[in-house]
Amino acid sequence: MISRRLFAQGFAGVVAAGTLAGTGSGTAVAAENGHTAFKELKQVQAGPLNIGYAEDGPADGPVVILLHGWPYDIHSYVDVAPLLAAAGYRVIVPYLRGYGSTTFRSAQTVRNGQQSATASDVISLMDALHIDRAILGGYDWGSRTAGCVAALWPERVKAAVLVSGYLVTNLKAQQTPLAPAAELGWWYQYYFATERGVTGYTENRHDFNKLIWTNASPRWKFSDATYDRSAQAFTNTDHVAIVIHNYRWRLGLAPGEAQYEAIEQRLQAAPPVTAPTITIGSDFDGANIDGSSYRKMFTGPYQHRIFRGVGHNVPQEAPRDFAKAIVAADRL
C-alpha cells in the first residue's frame, strides 16, 4: 500500500470533456459502482509478461494508462474508463504482474514485485502498444508505479494523477522504526515476512483482502458482488509470490533483480517528477491529506486535490472526481 512514513503520520493522529473539467478540492461521496464490466479486454506480449488489459475510447485519442493497487484490480477504473472515453481519451487499464490475466511468459522469470520491475512493465506495455506518451493515473501500487515512470522516463509521460502523492520507495527509510501506533497499521507487511503469513495469505486471500478493503475505506459500502469481481484477479497463480516479494523487498528481506538494479539505484536517489501532476489526498492519508509533505517532489505544473469522505480506493469510490483530475492534469 502507500509509503510507510506518510501513512504513519496520518495513522497516528459524460459526457463531454467540459463536464469533467472541475477544479479544486471538496467532498467526494463514496459510492457503489455504476458499471460492472469494461467495453473490451485484450492481451499483449510486453517484456517478460503477457499483459491483460481493458481498453475503451477512440483508438486515435490521447492515451491514458490507469494503474491499480493491492489488493485491488482493474475494476477500480470500471466507472472511470467510460467517462474518459466519452471525453475522447483512449483508456488502457492493465492488470499488474500477479493479477488477473497478466502472466509471465517464462516459468524461469523471477516473480518480482519491486517498484523498478512494475515501472519497467509500464514502459514495455507502452512499447508493445506503440504508445509514445501517455497520461498516467494510479493509487497505491499504481500510484507508486506511475510516479516511478514519471520520474525516470519524463519523455513518456504527458501528465500524471497520483493518489497519496510521491510514493517512490526509499529502502533506507524503510529500515527506520515508526511509533507503535503507526507500526500497527502495517501488521500485514510483517505478517507477510513470515512463512505463516505466506500460508495464511495463500489459503485466505479472499477474506484477507476483503478485510483490507473494509479497513482502508470504512465509508465505502461496496457490495459482495463488487468485491468478488475484483477478487477473481487474486486467483492468478503468481499473485501470492508477487505480493509477498513486494513487501519483503520493501523491508529488505528479499533481494531485487540484477537486471533492474540500475533503475532501482536511480529511484533510491528520489528523483523529482517534472511532468504536469495532480496529486490527490483522501481520508486514508490522515494528516498528509493536504499534500504538503511531498510538494517539493513535483517540480512541474502542479495541483493538489482533497477528496474528503473517500478511502484508499479513490478511483472506484469517486470515479467522476478522479476522471476530472485526469482531464485537468492533461490541461496543466
Domain residues of the chain, as ranges? 4-331
Those residues whose C-beta lies under 8 Å from the C-beta of residue 169, and which sit 6 or more positions away, are 3, 115, 144, 250, 267
Q: What is the dihedral of CA 101, 235, 188, 257, to 10 degrees?
A: -50
Instruction: Tell me how far apart the alpha carbons of residues 84 and 93 are, in angstroms, rounded to a whole number.
Output: 12
The pLDDT of 216-243, averaged and rounded, is: 98
For residue 279, what pLDDT band results from cuts at 50, 70 and 90?
Answer: very high
Instruction: Tell me how far apart the alpha carbons of residues 222 and 201 are, in angstroms, rounded to a whole number.
Output: 22
Instruction: Tell me how far apart the alpha carbons of residues 274 and 147 are, in angstroms, rounded to a whole number.
Output: 10
Those residues whose C-beta lies under 8 Å from the C-beta of residue 276, and which sit 6 or more positions away, are 158, 159, 160, 300, 301, 302, 329, 330, 332
Q: Inform me whether the pLDDT recorded for 12 exceeds 50.
A: no
pLDDT given at position 176: 95
> Is 35 in a helix, a strand, or coil?
coil
Q: Inform me whether the pLDDT recorded for 76 exceeds 60.
A: yes
Instruction: Tell me how far apart the alpha carbons of residues 136 and 92 are, in angstroms, rounded to a whole number.
Output: 10
Task: Using a pLDDT cut of 90, give the percent of the chain over it.
Answer: 88
pLDDT given at position 182: 87
Residue with cell 501528465: 159
Task: Using a pLDDT cut of 70, give the percent of the chain over it.
Answer: 90
Per DSSP (E only), the strands in the chain are 26-27, 40-46, 49-56, 63-67, 90-94, 103-104, 134-138, 157-163, 277-282, 302-308
Instruction: Tell me how far apart the alpha carbons of residues 160 and 137 are, in angstroms, rounded to a whole number.
Output: 6
Q: How many residues does the chain have?
A: 332
Do 72 and 212 meet the contact criterion of CB atoms below 8 Å apart?
Answer: no
CATH number of 4-331: 3.40.50.1820
Q: Inform me whether the pLDDT recorded for 236 exceeds 80.
A: yes
